[in-house]
Structure 1
Amino acid sequence: MPTAPVSPDPTMEAISRAVAEGRAGDTLTARQKLLKLWSAIGVTGDPLHRCSLAHHLADLHEDPARALAWDIRALDAADAVTEQRVQEHHAGLHIAGFYPSLHLNLADNYRRLGSFDAATEHIDAAEEHAPHLRQDAYGALLRTALDEVAEAISRRDTAKRPSAPGPTA
C-alpha cells in the first residue's frame, strides 16, 4: 500500500508503528499498543482508524478465532468508511481496494476453524472485489493468497498457510 498520507494522522501513524513492531517479531507489545489505541478510538470512533487497527491486530493473533473477531470488526468498520475519508488519509487509496483483503482474511480464518461454508462465502466475496486490487506487488500478493485460500477451502484443509501473515506457531 502507498504510505504517503495527504495530511498527518497521529492515530494512523501510531497504528503503523505498532504494526511495524509486530512484523519485527514483538507481537505481544504490538498487540498491547493496538489494544490501547482501540480503547482510545472506541467502537464508534473514526471507521478508517477502526478498520486499519482491527485488520492489522487480527494478523497478530495465531488463534484463528481471535483473528476472526478482529477481522469481523475490520469489515464492519470498512462498511462505515467513506471514500472521502479514505481520500483525506491518502489520495492513492480507495475503500473498494480494502475489501479483497478483508474478505480474504475472513475466509482464511473460517477455513482454519473448519467453517467451510462461511469460508466459501468470503472467498467468493474477496474474488468479486479482486478487480479493485491495484496492479502492483501488493495486488499480486493478494491474488496469490486468494488462490491459496480457495484451494485450501476446496481441500477442506484447516492448516495455517505458510505464506499467511502473522506470528508463527
Structure 2
Amino acid sequence: MTVDATLARINDGVQLHHQRGQRDAARDLFTRIWDEIGGQDGDPLHVCVLAHAMADVQDDVHQELLWDQRALAAADLLTDTRVAQAGVALPVAGLYPSLHLNLGECHRKLGDLDRAREHLRHAQAGIDALGDDEYARLIRAGLDRLTQLLASASENAPQ
C-alpha cells in the first residue's frame, strides 16, 4: 500500500503542533495544504483530516468550531473503501467519536450546553467503532472529561 502523501504532510503538521509546540507553524502548513487540495472541494478524506487538525490550532473558538464543522461534513462524504485505500486503520464510523467530541467541546466553550450534550451523545453512540488502543482510550478520556464538565456546568447553572 502506498502512503497518502497529503495525509503524511497533515501528520507532519500535527507533529509540529503536539510534539514540538509549534502551533503557528502547524497552522501555516495546514493553510498551504488546504489551498493545495482545493479547500472544501478537495478529496473528502483530506478535507476531513485536515479540517480536524486545523481546528486544533485555532486561537478563536468560533474558528475552531467552523473547522470542526467542515471536518464533520467531509466525513459524511467518506466511504470505508476510500479510507482503507489511504491506509487509515479506522472505518469511517471510527472517525465520528472524535469529531463529535471536538464539536461538543466547542459548543461547551461557547456556552451552548444543549448542543454540546447533543454532540456528546453522538460521540458516545459511536464509541464502539473504536478498538481498545491508545487512540480509543484518548477519545474515551475526552468523552469522560466533557461529560464531567457538562455535569458541572449544569450544577452551577442558575435555576
Q: How high is the TM-score relative to the length of structure 2?
A: 0.91
Structure with bigger helix share is: 2
Cα deviation code 1:53-95 (max 9, x no counterpart)? 0101111124221111110000001001111000101163211
State the Cα RMSD in Å: 1.3
1:38 aligns with 2:34: yes
| Counterparts of residues 107-118 of structure 1 (less than 5 Å) | 107-118=104-115
Gap regions ≥5 residues in structure 1: 1-5, 158-169
| Letter aligned with residue 9 of structure 1 | D
| Secondary structure class of the residue paired with 1:21 | helix
Aligned length: 152
Q: What corresponds to 1:64 in structure 2? A: 61
Confirm or deny: 8 A CA contact 2:3 2:87 kept in the other structure.
no
82, 86, 90: which one aligns with 1:89: 86
Q: Structure 1 stretch 26-35 or stretch 59-68: which is displaced more?
A: 59-68
Q: Relative contact order (C-alpha < 8 Å, sep 6+): which is higher?
A: 1
Q: Say whether the 8 Å CA contact 1:107–1:122 is kept in structure 2.
A: yes
CA distance in 1 between counterparts of 2:64 and 2:89 reads 28
SS in 2 for 1:134: coil
Quick check: 1:103 aligned with 2:100?
A: yes
Gaps of 5+ in 2: 155-159
Query: Identity of counterpart residues, as a percentage?
Result: 39
Q: Specify the SS of the correspondent of 2:72.
A: helix
